[in-house]
């Protein structure tokens, strides 16, 4: 049974039983504590916790998920994958244990001919929470399952909660027995390789007051409404129903594995390590494709870093299979073809997705080449020092700074006959993870924080009037101080204000929040921020400037008109620049992110090379021509499918509801889905002044622009600067570039003359310095301070010249100078001196220690420095003492 067929049967079964079919949410989670949608329940948390009223009593969905905490297990087990799909049926205060158990068992065991999944009842086991007698009894009496196939497990296995105070409850899991070939008999409590969990039923029935760990929490009492949260792993059911060994061999994944085998010339099933690598590639390529289809782009932070890691692990695995050149063109095409029937967007957006993948592959292959060069140097140095172990900090540097995987470092070091100090590498990695966790913890906004909004959200959605009004009278629904509800807030306090209606725009869609005030009888509040903490609710962070505000009082939201005007100019300007980009570069220049506020916009777009100055000018001219043409700006609310049929552009990675707001500028010239605030005609934007273009990744560029009055001010400032320069240089504006070029050429010529003079002056000092050489131990030693110099290169050249002047004698030249107010030492040794045991690196290190710094280098030439200029005589004396022993 194909994966898509399993999904269809699941959806049809529950839809026929009154469940609303809900489309999958994005892999990019709305939960601020999560990078990704890590479980099927994540999109439903607001309903399960009661923060947002559920729009339906029961639902069914197939939810895309990404989970990378077990990434090292991918390819090694039958069930670990980074991308997976959860089939879920949900009840929000409707049916409970009896309904959930009945539905699950009936769908699993009903024959395929009757629309079921056709599992044999004899192959199924269940687990229940150790004290959940009700569930155990239902499995026996309602389903007829023998008591010996019902196992009771503890909190670690069969109790669910969010990890924060809030809802929780026991769970019951259904397992499939794969047979004696896969392990010991005795049920899931004995062997979780033979007995595979396929369905988890969570009975959300308790309110937890304190949660200290997975197994340590306090139950405050029962939930007012009992909910059902269930999930069946689509990939797990698929590999069982398709009669294959693991999830990597199902129809949606196997084509990538097979293509990797073909490209590498290896046979899947022939060698365990190769099999693991092929599974990693198959999993990671599919996960990367799905992440990019939801708007994630490779980067060094957050979600982008996870995507980059998946892509680079895929490249590494291909390399270990012997494929050192590009392979993503073939692998991603195979994944697209396998996934497009379930997710058509991977085919629709494939040109852009492939561009991202190929750009990252090209960048990392070049990174591997440079990392190999660095590693080669480190290997040579390690061998020269007589060591058989590559330093752990070198391996960490390669991994952390250059993105060079530790597995490749281990492999290549082994080929060179070296081992790696893995203990030191692991310690440095742990330190880095601990720092990252501490940083994430400091920024984390826990789920429990959102529960304070439940009562306000239950009163309905906040009405936003700001599209047509700049002030709106409403009432104060709630006040929060330090995250806790209060009845009043007084002068000097910072608080959150929840209004029934507001004219103030909450930050979203790349547009910064409005500035403004909230006023009422006897109080004035300065608006510091406007956000949507939960879906449908707007919260205003304010400073109480005057008086005292209380819950239930009348309040008027007032938008700062100047700021709103600038914000609408910038947001409409973003649409103009996007349209101009696509007109010049083509449809692949797809917006991947934006930010705009009064007077400023930035726009990220898919592109893999810098824009020429001519291209930037063309884009700027097209955008400003649209402003000049005074195009009409029209906004409409339409069903999503109708909007797309009209050609409205859905921005890559954005999330949209069933009804969307369409913004047209000049009709179809620019037509995008957008909930931001906009001007009425394009002329109101005023002016676009592109001030920057830069890279934000291998496949993404960023343009920045000033808008409106800020754009004019920038031009005015540049005009004033040109005026000052033309006046100072006594030339006309059109001759300014030539005049500056002439001055630069003269300056360079003067610098060359100065350098020649300084070099001559240094050379004239060589004989006198050589004449100071005295026999010290077995060598002739020149140990002198030469005063102040302009650079370390001058001191180095002087030391080498003195060494040459001394000829074939066993000589050591140790010179010091002040460079930039700090002491610098250079040591040069002749071949004969090195044969007698003199080592420039050791001597420079000794001098640097006296100077209060560090140093070292090769045996023939080395340098050191410090901070204590007064210690220069002592440093020179240290060299004399060392060589005179």
What is the percent of the chain where pLDDT is above 90?
A: 65
Is 754 domain-assigned? no
Q: Per the annotation, does 674 bind a ligand?
A: yes
Task: For residue 67, give the CATH number of its domain.
Answer: 3.30.930.10
What pLDDT was estimated at residue 411? 72
Nearest CA to 715 among 689, 681, 678?
Answer: 689
- What lies within 8 Å, CB to CB, of 745 at 6+ separation is none
Give the confidence band of 534 by pLDDT, cuts at 50, 70, 90.
confident
Q: pLDDT per residue over 869-883, tens digit each?
A: 999 999 999 999 989
Segment 845-853 mean pLDDT: 91
What pLDDT was estimated at residue 652? 57
Claim to verify: residue 683 and residue 822 sit in the same structural domain: no
- What lies within 8 Å, CB to CB, of 372 at 6+ separation is 412
Give the gyration radius of the chain's Cα atoms. 35
Is residue 210 helix, strand or coil? strand
442, pLDDT greater than 60: no
Claim to verify: residue 217 and residue 129 sit in the same structural domain: yes
Query: Rounded to whole angstroms, how far apart are CA atoms 664 and 674?
Result: 10
Query: Rounded to whole angstroms, how far apart are CA atoms 2 and 250?
Result: 8
Is residue 260 helix, strand or coil? helix
Cα atoms in the 13 Å half-sphere on the side-chain side of 388: 2
Q: Choose the final residue of a domain: 195, 226, 245.
A: 245
Claim to verify: residue 626 and residue 539 sit in the same structural domain: no
Segment 75-89 mean pLDDT: 86
Nearest CA to 389 among 363, 423, 356, 361?
Answer: 423
Is 747 domain-assigned? no
Question: SS3 for 501-561, per residue?
Answer: EECCCCCECCECCCCEEEEECCEEEEEEEEECCCCCCCEEEEEEEEEEEECCCEEEEEECH
Claim to verify: residue 776 and residue 666 sit in the same structural domain: no
Query: Rounded to whole angstroms, how far apart are CA atoms 541 and 341?
Result: 45
Segment 533-557 mean pLDDT: 94
Claim to verify: residue 185 and residue 267 sit in the same structural domain: no
Average pLDDT of the chain is 90
Claim to verify: residue 346 and residue 413 sit in the same structural domain: yes
Query: Rounded to whole angstroms, how far apart are CA atoms 564 and 476?
Result: 23
Claim to verify: residue 673 and residue 630 sit in the same structural domain: yes
Q: Choose the final residue of a domain: 187, 213, 245.
A: 245
Q: Per the annotation, does 590 bind a ligand?
A: no
Q: Per the annotation, does 272 bind a ligand?
A: no
Segment 132-146 mean pLDDT: 95
Give 720's strand partners: none
Claim to verify: residue 389 and residue 317 sit in the same structural domain: yes
Claim to verify: residue 8 and residue 128 sit in the same structural domain: yes
C-alpha to C-alpha distances, 466 to 525, 559, 677, nearest whole angstrom = 18, 8, 8
Query: Rounded to whole angstroms, how far apart are CA atoms 485 and 472?
Result: 24
Segment 654-682 mean pLDDT: 89
Q: What angle do CA 709, 682, 707 make, to 5 degrees?
A: 25
Task: For residue 773, give the CATH number of its domain.
Answer: 3.10.310.40
Angle at which helices 272-293 and 302-320 cross, to 10°? 150
DSSP E strand stretches across 371-493: 389-390, 419-420, 463-464, 471-481, 484-486, 488-490
The burial of 835, by beta-carbon neighbours within 10 Å (0-12 exposed, 13-18 middle, 19 or more buried), is given as exposed
819 is written with which tokens? 């460079």
Task: For residue 626, give the CATH number of its domain.
Answer: 3.30.980.10
Claim to verify: residue 171 and residue 126 sit in the same structural domain: yes
Is 559 domain-assigned? no
Is 710 domain-assigned? yes
In the chain, the number of structural domains is 5
What pLDDT was estimated at residue 440? 44
Claim to verify: residue 695 and residue 775 sit in the same structural domain: no
Query: Rounded to whole angstroms, how far apart are CA atoms 131 and 135?
Result: 9
Q: Per the annotation, does 678 bind a ligand?
A: yes
Domain range for 331 is 254-420
Q: Choose the final residue of a domain: 189, 217, 245.
A: 245
Query: Rounded to whole angstroms, how far apart are CA atoms 743 and 722?
Result: 16
For residue 428, the tally of other CB atoms under 10 A from its CB is 17
Is 432 domain-assigned? no
Claim to verify: residue 268 and residue 215 sit in the same structural domain: no
What pLDDT was estimated at residue 437? 56
Is residue 654 helix, strand or coil? coil
Is 521 domain-assigned? yes
What pLDDT was estimated at residue 804? 92
Is 198 domain-assigned? yes
Is 735 domain-assigned? no
Selected residue with higher pLDDT from 377 and 436: 377
């Amino acid at each position: 049974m194909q994966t898509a067929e399993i999904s269809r049967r699941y959806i049809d079964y529950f839809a026929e039983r009154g469940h609303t079919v809900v489309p999958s949410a994005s892999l990019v989670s709305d939960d601020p504590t999560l990078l990704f949608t890590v479980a099927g329940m994540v999109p439903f948390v607001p309903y399960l916790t009661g923060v947002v009223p559920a729009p339906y009593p029961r639902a069914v969905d197939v939810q895309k998920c990404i989970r990378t905490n077990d990434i090292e297990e991918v390819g090694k087990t039958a069930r670990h994958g980074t991308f997976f799909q959860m089939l879920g049926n949900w009840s929000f205060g409707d049916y409970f244990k009896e309904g959930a158990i009945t539905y699950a068992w009936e769908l699993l065991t009903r024959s395929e001919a009757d629309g079921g999944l056709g599992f044999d009842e004899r192959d199924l086991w269940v687990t229940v929470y150790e004290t959940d007698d009700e569930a155990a009894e239902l499995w026996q009496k309602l389903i007829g399952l023998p008591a010996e196939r019902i196992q009771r497990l503890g909190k670690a296995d069969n109790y669910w909660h969010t990890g924060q105070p809030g809802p929780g409850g026991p769970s019951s899991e259904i397992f499939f027995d794969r047979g004696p070939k896969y392990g010991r008999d005795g049920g899931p409590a004995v062997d979780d390789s033979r007995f595979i969990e396929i369905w988890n039923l969570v009975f959300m029935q308790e309110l937890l007051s304190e949660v200290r760990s997975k197994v340590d929490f306090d139950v405050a009492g029962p939930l007012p409404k009992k909910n059902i949260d269930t999930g069946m792993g689509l990939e797990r059911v698929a590999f069982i129903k398709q009669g294959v060994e693991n999830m990597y061999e199902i129809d949606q994944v196997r084509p990538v594995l097979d293509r990797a085998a073909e490209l590498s010339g290896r046979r899947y099933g022939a060698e365990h390590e190769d099999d693991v690598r092929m599974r990693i590639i198959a999993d990671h390529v599919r996960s990367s494709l799905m992440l990019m289809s939801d708007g994630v782009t490779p980067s060094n932070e957050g979600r982008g870093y996870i995507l980059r890691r998946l892509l680079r692990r895929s490249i590494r695995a291909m390399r270990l299979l012997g494929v050192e050149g590009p392979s993503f063109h073939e692998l991603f095409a195979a994944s697209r073809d396998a996934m497009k029937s379930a997710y058509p967007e991977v085919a629709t957006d494939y040109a852009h997705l492939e561009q991202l993948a190929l750009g990252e592959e090209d960048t990392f292959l070049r990174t591997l080449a440079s990392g190999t060069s660095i590693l080669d140097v480190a290997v040579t140095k390690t061998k020269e020092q007589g060591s058989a172990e590559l330093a752990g900090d070198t391996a960490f540097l390669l991994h952390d700074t250059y993105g060079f995987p530790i597995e490749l470092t281990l492999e290549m070091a082994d080929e060179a006959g070296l081992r790696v100090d893995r203990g030191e590498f692991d310690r440095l990695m742990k330190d880095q993870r601990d720092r990252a966790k501490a940083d994430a913890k400091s920024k984390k906004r826990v789920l429990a924080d959102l529960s304070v909004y439940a009562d306000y959200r239950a009163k309905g959605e906040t009405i936003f009037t700001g599209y047509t009004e700049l002030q709106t009278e409403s009432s104060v629904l709630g006040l929060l101080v330090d995250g806790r509800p209060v009845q009043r807030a007084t002068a000097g306090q910072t608080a959150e204000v929840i209004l029934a209606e507001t004219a103030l725009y909450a930050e979203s869609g790349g547009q910064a929040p409005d500035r403004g005030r909230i006023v009422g009888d006897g109080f004035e509040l300065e608006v510091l921020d406007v956000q949507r903490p939960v879906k449908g609710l707007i919260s205003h962070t304010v400073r109480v400037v005057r008086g005292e505000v209380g819950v239930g009082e009348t309040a008027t939201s007032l938008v700062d008109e100047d700021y709103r005007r600038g914000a609408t100019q910038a947001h409409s300007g973003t649409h103009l620049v996007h349209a101009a980009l696509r007109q010049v570069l083509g449809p692949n220049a797809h917006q991947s992110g934006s930010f705009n506020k009064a007077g400023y916009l930035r726009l990220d777009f898919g592109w893999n090379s810098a824009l020429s100055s001519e291209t930037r000018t063309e884009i700027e001219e097209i955008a400003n021509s649209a402003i000049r043409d005074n195009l009409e700006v029209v906004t409409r609310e339409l069903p999503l499918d109708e909007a797309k049929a009209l050609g409205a552009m859905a921005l890559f990675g954005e999330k949209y509801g069933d009804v969307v707001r369409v913004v047209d500028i000049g009709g179809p010239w620019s037509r995008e889905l957008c909930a931001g605030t906009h001007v009425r005609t394009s002329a109101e934007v005023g002016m676009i002044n592109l001030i920057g273009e830069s890279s934000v990744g291998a496949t993404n560029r960023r343009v920045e622009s000033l808008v409106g009055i800020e754009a004019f001010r920038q031009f005015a400032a540049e005009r004033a600067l040109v005026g000052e320069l033309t006046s100072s240089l006594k030339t006309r504006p059109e001759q300014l570039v030539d005049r500056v070029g002439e001055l630069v050429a003269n300056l360079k010529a003067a610098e060359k003359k100065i350098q020649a003079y300084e070099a001559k002056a240094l050379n004239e000092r060589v004989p006198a310095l050589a004449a100071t050489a005295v026999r010290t131990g077995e060598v002739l030693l020149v140990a002198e301070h030469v005063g102040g110099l302009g650079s370390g290169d001058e001191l180095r050249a002087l030391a080498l010249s003195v060494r040459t002047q001394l000829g074939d004698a066993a000589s050591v030249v140790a010179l010091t100078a002040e460079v930039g107010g700090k002491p610098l030492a250079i040591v040069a040794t002749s071949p004969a001196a090195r044969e007698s045991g003199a080592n420039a690196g050791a001597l420079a290190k000794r001098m640097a220690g006296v100077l209060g710094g560090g140093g070292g280098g090769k045996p023939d030439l080395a340098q050191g420095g410090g901070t204590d200029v007064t210690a220069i005589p002592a440093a020179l004396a240290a060299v004399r003492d060392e060589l005179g022993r």
